[in-house]
Amino acid sequence: MQAARSLQSLHAATTFLHQLSIDPPLPVDAIMKKRLEALKKEIAQHNYQYYALDSPLISDSEYDQLFRELLEIEAQHPEWVTADSPSQRVGTAPVSGFATVAHQVPMRSLNNAFDDEELLAFDKRIREALVKANAWTAGQPLSYNAEYKFDGLAVSLRYEQGQLVQAVTRGDGYEGEDITSNIRTIAAIPLQLMLDKTPYPPEILEVRGEVLMNRADFEILNQQQIERQEKPFANPRNAAAGSLRQLDPRITAQRPLRFFAYGWGAIQLAQPEQGAIPFAPEDELQGLPYATQAEMLDWLLALGLPVNAHRQVLTGPQALIDYYQQTAEERAGLPFEIDGLVYKVNQLELQQVLGYVSRAPRYAIAHKFPAQEATTRLLAIEVQVGRTGAITPVARLEPVEVGGVTVTNATLHNEDEIRRKDVRVGDTVVVRRAGDVIPEVVAPILDLRPEHTKLFEFPVQCPICGSAIERPADEAIARCTGGLVCSAQRKQNIEHAVSRKALDIEGIGTKLIEQLVDRDRIKSLADLFGLQETELATYPRMGPKSAQNVVRAIQQAKQPTLARFIYALGIRHVGETTARHLAEHFKSIEALIQANEDELQTVTDVGPVVAASIAHFFAEAHNRQVLQALLEQGVSPQAPKAPASTQSQDSYFAQKTIVLTGSLEQMTRSEAKSRLEALGARVTGSVSSQTDLLIAGEKAGSKLTQAQKLGVEVIDETRFLALLKQT
């Protein structure tokens, strides 16, 4: 049988070479190898036709025949198997876990518009910002690239010299999980880019996109789950996410996953004459092959990446609203789930002017479809105590399916919301769920209200510790005053501190934390680092091996980054982004503790409320005691890595706000930015009245004109290099 297959493969290869009219005849191995290379290209082209263009050229059976021929040749010559072969999608051996990878360029989230009014406000806001920056003419409508907002899982794919080398989940936007082995199993994702299809082949390309599952494929998968007596997935998004998080890539390979590209991260074009020029969205547009969002998406498509065909360039907000309404009508007939549309300013130069705010770009917005709703009965109202003492009322509901998820609990937000909505136990209520947002009770259906219902009385004492509940006059949230006396706050604080985005201590889950707090074994985060294997082994469902693993994980967490450590403290109003900005600014926990409110407000995104919260936290004696105890336990937060050069306060650039524009000959703009920041400068992407200096390279554009209008100091590259030498 094997000999017969070999003869078939050789016959196919010989026929192939005969068609190429190669003379003189080649040795058998050479014929087979050329046939293998041709098959790889042919199968890749058919994948492109099927997944990217939705226009297959051959039948499934013909495709299968080509694939079988490729497998037969590779079976005979395993030394010819390469990473870009279609055969390498079957999945490798299981892994023990996913490594964490930092994104070279952050994967930012999007702000949302939930109605036409919010969309119009967005359009008005960015047009005004562009006019103010002298980048746009007042009264002129903007053009946007409009595309679907897929309901899947965001990933970043990194290609080097056209070959897929890494795939990472979005994670927190700055770090994600390495899922390369799983991504390689998805036929819609090319293992090798079609570099010969574009005049601008990239040496490095990070592609941002969405992994999802078609509705029909989802139904088939769930039927298979039921037949295997396994739990079915709630919806296609959960199925896609669950498939990508399989530790065994062979399982992922069996799942019908698809992919659409919608953006990019780092790009480095192959430009032999000028050298490769790197690009990141925080920089200017140098190095990008095209000037608009739409053209960049066409470029990704030309490289062989699937880009959804339902995208349009539209001018003015009314065109966006019309497209939204049209898509809402067509949504049910689409093969996949979408939860809205995404609009991005089409001109990349204008995107650069608008820039970013916190974790989201100013130049883009997601226009979400209305949240999915259902009705059910409200069985009870209870309150939960959060890690900051916040008292949150929670509705206990008769189970109801909303958007593919069974909902039994929903938030009622706060006391004022309960009063405003007049929600009562026994009511039939409308429950809303939007994407991954916590379900909420929208309103009661008054016509169905039973007799003798009563208004909910908000408690005046904490249900956990009995401490008084207080509500500041200027806040909507009531809080337990128990602090560390309240075990609920301790539990929530510890659970927050050990979470993946904070200290990332594996093995310490909710159940173990509850036992440790209930036994009064840990009163603060510092007590966690004093746990011993022998005592942990006595806890239910632990045992010596589990105890050993937990203690090892605790020890490994003793040198967190300063940003993670600050976030782990659970300071009110301090999230991941703010914690990172604080770490970058103060460099040590000691410096942060000593900072006053005025100093805190010099940090990016820290306003009066956040500054007051941070100062109050470190002013509390018991918090300082916990910090001291942590240090005594050997916990040592690691400061952010210093730049290659030491900052010099004597530098000409120190304390100046500087903008780079045009191309530099002696270094890349990324290198120039790093040098400037190391010397104490603040490098921004747009010129304003706050700009102190513009460094203009070759082909400087509108920013140079704007700087000249504003009277900003302008120097060229020669002067820039001379000043660098003086420092």
Q: Report the percent of the chain where pLDDT is more than 90.
A: 43
What pLDDT, on a 0 to 100 scale, did the predictor assign at position 467? 85
User: How much is the average pLDDT of 156-174?
Assistant: 92
pLDDT at 650 over 90: no
What pLDDT, on a 0 to 100 scale, did the predictor assign at position 284? 46
HSE of 634, CA atoms in CB hemisphere, 13 A: 8
Instruction: Give the angle 664-666-669 at the CA atoms, nearest 5°.
Output: 45
Q: At what angle do helices 2-20 and 60-76 cross, to 10 degrees?
A: 110
User: How much is the average pLDDT of 28-32?
Assistant: 81
Tokens 């209305």, residue located: 370
- Round to whole Å and give the CA distance between 696 and 660: 6
The residue that leads in pLDDT, 467 or 261, is 261
Neighbouring residues of 18: CB distance < 8 A, sequence distance ≥ 6: none
- Tokens representing 141 are 């409508």
The residue that leads in pLDDT, 189 or 237, is 189
Beta-bridged to residue 211, according to DSSP, are 153, 259
What pLDDT, on a 0 to 100 scale, did the predictor assign at position 83? 76
- Round to whole Å and give the CA distance between 477 and 573: 13
Taken in order of first residue, the domains within the chain and their CATH numbers are: 2-89 (1.10.287.610), 130-368 (3.30.470.30), 483-556 (1.10.150.20), 562-632 (1.10.150.20), 657-726 (3.40.50.10190)
For the chain, what is the mean pLDDT? 85
- Edge-to-edge order in the sheet of strand 713-716: 682-684, 657-661, 693-696, 713-716
What pLDDT, on a 0 to 100 scale, did the predictor assign at position 16? 53
Model confidence band, residue 61 (pLDDT cutoffs 50, 70, 90)? confident
Q: What is the 3-state secondary structure (H, E, C) of 9-77?
A: HHHHHHHHHHHHCCCCCCCHHHHHHHHHHHHHHHHHHHHHHHHHCCCCCCCHHHHHHHHHHHHHHHHHC
The pair phi, psi for residue 389, each rounded to 5°, is 90, 0
pLDDT at 90 over 80: no
Choose among 10, 187, 6: nearest CA to 87.
187
The residue that leads in pLDDT, 727 or 291, is 291
Contact in structure between 261 and 637 (CB atoms under 8 Å): no
Beta-bridged to residue 262, according to DSSP, are none
What pLDDT, on a 0 to 100 scale, did the predictor assign at position 437? 66
Beta-bridged to residue 667, according to DSSP, are none
Q: Report the percent of the chain where pLDDT is more than 70.
A: 90
Per-state percent for the chain, helix, strand, coil, to nearest 5: 40, 20, 40
- Tokens representing 461 are 């004492």
Hey, which residues are catalytic here? Answer: 149
Q: What is the pLDDT of residues 490-545, one digit of tens each?
A: 898 899 999 988 998 988 989 999 999 999 899 889 999 999 999 999 998 888 89
Q: What is the pLDDT of residues 120-152, one digit of tens each?
A: 999 999 999 999 989 999 999 999 999 999 989
pLDDT at 645 over 50: no
- Round to whole Å and give the CA distance between 430 and 446: 11
Contact in structure between 498 and 531 (CB atoms under 8 Å): no
pLDDT at 92 over 60: no
Residue 390 DSSP symbol: B
- Round to whole Å and give the CA distance between 189 and 185: 8
Q: Determine which of 79-93, 407-421, 570-584, 655-669 has the lowest per-residue pLDDT on average.
A: 79-93
- Round to whole Å and give the CA distance between 514 and 492: 10
Q: What is the pLDDT of residues 351-386, one digit of tens each?
A: 989 988 767 899 999 999 887 788 999 999 999 998
Q: Determine which of 298-302, 402-406, 707-711 has the lowest per-residue pLDDT on average.
A: 402-406
Q: Determine which of 44-53, 97-106, 640-649 has the lowest per-residue pLDDT on average.
A: 640-649
Three-state SS for 95? coil
- Tokens representing 363 are 């130049």
HSE of 240, CA atoms in CB hemisphere, 13 A: 24
What pLDDT, on a 0 to 100 scale, did the predictor assign at position 6? 47
pLDDT at 412 over 80: yes
| Region label for 214, one of left (φ > 0), alpha (ψ between -120 and 50) or beta (otherwise) | beta
Choose among 503, 465, 506, 456: nearest CA to 484.
465
What pLDDT, on a 0 to 100 scale, did the predictor assign at position 241? 87
pLDDT at 455 over 60: yes
- Tokens representing 3 are 């000999």
Three-state SS for 552? helix
Instruction: State the DSSP H helix or E strand holding residue 298, giving kind and residue range, or none if neither.
Output: helix 293-302
Q: Determine which of 75-84, 305-314, 430-439 has the lowest per-residue pLDDT on average.
A: 430-439
User: How much is the average pLDDT of 459-471?
Assistant: 89
Q: How far is CA 363 from CA 134, 344, 621, in A?
A: 16, 6, 44
What pLDDT, on a 0 to 100 scale, did the predictor assign at position 435? 56
Neighbouring residues of 666: CB distance < 8 A, sequence distance ≥ 6: 717, 721
